[in-house]
Amino acid sequence: MQPTRREFIVTAGAIGAASLFSGPVALGSRLVRPARRAKGMKILFLGGTGMLGPHAVRMLVERGHEVTLFNRGNRDEMFPDLEFIEGNRIVDEGPGLKPLEEAVAGGRRWDAVIDTASVHTWVENSARVLKDAADHYTYISSLSVYADNSQTGLDETDAVATMPDDVAETITTPRYNMMYYGAVKARSEAAAEKHFPGKTMVHRPGLLVGPRDFTHRFTYWPARVREGGEVLAPGARDHPLQFIDVRDLAAFMVHAIEQQHTGIYNVNGPIGAGMTTGKMLDTCKKVTGSDATFTWVDGDFLGENGVAPWAQMPVWIPPAEGSAGFHTRSLEKAAKAGLKTRPLDETVRDTLAWFDDEYLDRWKETMVERGMEDPEFTFGGQLPGISREREAELLAAWKEQADD
């Protein structure tokens, strides 16, 4: 069963003037916040307020680096002490890259740039502006970049996905056919290397998990197992899995920037003993102390009943023809370069703590504001996973088939 491709400033003079003040300064229609000076490297983070960004930014600051954020300012409250450059890489919306261009023209320089863009034209435009204003470019790509997932254990030299030039030219926002996701990431990597030849570090992570995972592609399992009872478990216990705690990726990013590493790295986990679907679910049960029991349901049966891997059964992709290599990419290169991954029980515990204390309360408040009384959060539907009702239906059908 082949899974679908995965899924999504002003001038330097003005900044100098703003840095004389202790708080945010409005200049025209743009907001410039003074930087908190720090020893170490000067880092420009394009974005920085999603899932990965906040973890990496905090680590950079804690290690004494000076971070500048370039983004739309939609989460302006997240890092009030950092220098902020307001802009928008969707060039036909707002100021576009002009504030960054003005900063570079005014003499601004950074030791390193971090780019998490999901569109190749954004990387092309940003790297072109910054090619003479920075010494190192980090791009966060994806393991989905690979064209072939049929073989196990392949490394960074494997071929990447491609797409027609006429299609690529039409992709300027994150709203595009996700069958091209890998090809878009591949073109993004090439754009970074084009403008920063020999000075680019490309990270190819797998599924990011842990705190701030608003996709809930991993959260489903700790939350569902914690509820206890009979849990539908997909495929078989020994099906291989790879994923990485977002904080481990952030730590490796910071380490690689400090060491000025370049090249392409598969960044996934765990490092060492292999992870399987069974180990993941057992760990969720151990950490939550639930009474969950697991009923293993054949992947073909799930497919016949409209239950897709990765979406309705998050994390899991069966090692079938065409997808056997997805969860078995070689991590040797990154491990030798310093990548370390934490124990899964820590990720499970911290994911649930974030889900309970930060996400769930905020979600309920939002639903109440929208007029919903006593809102109840559920997986399935528009979120990864399946509802408890659908799970019960499938388990009953599976047992009935087994009895025939």
User: Alpha helices, DSSP H only, in 196-331?
Assistant: 220-227, 246-259, 277-288, 299-304
Q: Where on the phi/psi map is residue 3: left (φ > 0), alpha (ψ -120 to 50), or beta? A: beta
The pLDDT score that the predictor gives to residue 17 is: 27
* Single residue among 177, 205, 233 that ends a domain in this structure: 205
Q: Could you tell me if 231 and 154 lie in one domain?
A: no
Does 276 share its domain with 288? yes
Out of 176, 205, 234, pick the residue that ends a domain.
205
Unique residue bearing structure tokens 């009872």: 229
On whether residue 151 sits in a domain, the answer given is yes
- Say whether both 97 and 216 belong to one domain: no
pLDDT averaged over the chain?
Answer: 87
**275-276 and 240-241: which strand pairing?**
antiparallel
Q: Choose the final residue of a domain: 187, 205, 223.
A: 205
Residue 326 clears pLDDT 80, i.e. is over it: yes
Co-location of 179 and 290 in the same domain? no
Q: Are residues 218 and 121 in the same domain?
A: no
**CATH code: domain of residue 22:** 3.40.50.720
Does 262 map to a domain? no
Q: How far apart are CA 187 and CA 121, in angstroms?
A: 9
The whole-number average pLDDT for the span 237-248 is 97
Q: Tell me, what CATH number does 226's domain have?
A: 3.90.25.10
The pLDDT assigned to 371 comes to 83
One domain for residues 175 and 224: no
**b/e code 309-344 from CB counts within 10 Å (16+ = b):** bbbbbbbbbbbbeebbbbbbbbbebbbebebebbeb
Query: Is the bond preceding residue 270 a cis peptide, omega within 30 degrees?
Result: yes
Scored b (16 or more CB within 10 A) or e, 211-225 reads bbbebbbbbbbbbbb
User: Does 256 map to a domain?
Assistant: no
Based on the fold, state whether residues 142 and 223 are members of the same structural domain: no
Calculate the CA 235 to chain-centre distance. Answer: 25
3-state DSSP assignment of residue 165: helix
| 250 domain residue, yes or no | no
Q: Summarize the confidence of residues 270-285 as an average pLDDT.
A: 94
* Distance (Å, whole) CA 153 – CA 257: 27
Task: Give the containing element (helix H, strand E) for 186.
Answer: helix 181-195
Beta-sheet pairing, 83-86 with 30-33: antiparallel
> What integer pLDDT is reported at residue 404 of this predicted model?
67
- Is residue 128 domain-resident? yes
**106 shares a domain with 157:** yes
In this predicted structure, what is the pLDDT of residue 91?
63
User: In terms of domains, do 36 and 2 share one?
Assistant: yes
Q: Are 187 and 117 in contact (CB under 8 A)?
A: no
pTM across the whole model: 0.87
Range 339-348 average pLDDT: 97
Whether 222 and 196 map to the same domain: the answer is no
Q: Does a structural domain hold residue 333?
A: no
Q: How confident is the model at residue 322 (pLDDT cuts 50, 70, 90)?
A: confident
Q: Contacts for 89-92 with beta carbons within 8 Å, 24 or more apart? A: 89/46, 89/117, 89/119, 89/122, 89/125, 89/126, 90/122, 90/172, 90/173, 91/125, 91/172, 92/172
- CB proximity list for 320: less than 8 A, separation 6 or greater: 1, 2, 299
When divided into structural domains, the chain yields a total of: 2
Locate 208 and state its tokens.
Answer: 């990011």
Assess contact for 192 and 141: CB atoms under 8 A. Answer: no
Confidence at 39, pLDDT banded by 50, 70, 90: low
Instruction: Provide the domain limits for residue 230.
Output: 209-242+272-323+343-404
Whether residues 193 and 312 share a domain: the answer is no
Residue 316 sits in the same domain as residue 172? no
- Residue type at 363? W
Query: Where does the pLDDT of residue 36 fall: very low under 50, low under 70, confident under 90, or very high at 90 and above?
Result: very low
Interval 146-188: pLDDT, tens: 999 999 999 999 999 999 999 999 998 888 889 999 999 999 9
pLDDT over 70 (residue 5): no
pLDDT at 370: 82
- Decide if pLDDT at 191 tops 90: yes
Domain assignment of residue 258, yes or no: no
CB atoms within 10 A of CB 245: 26
371 falls within a domain: yes
- Give dist(CA 360, CA 52) in Å, integer: 19
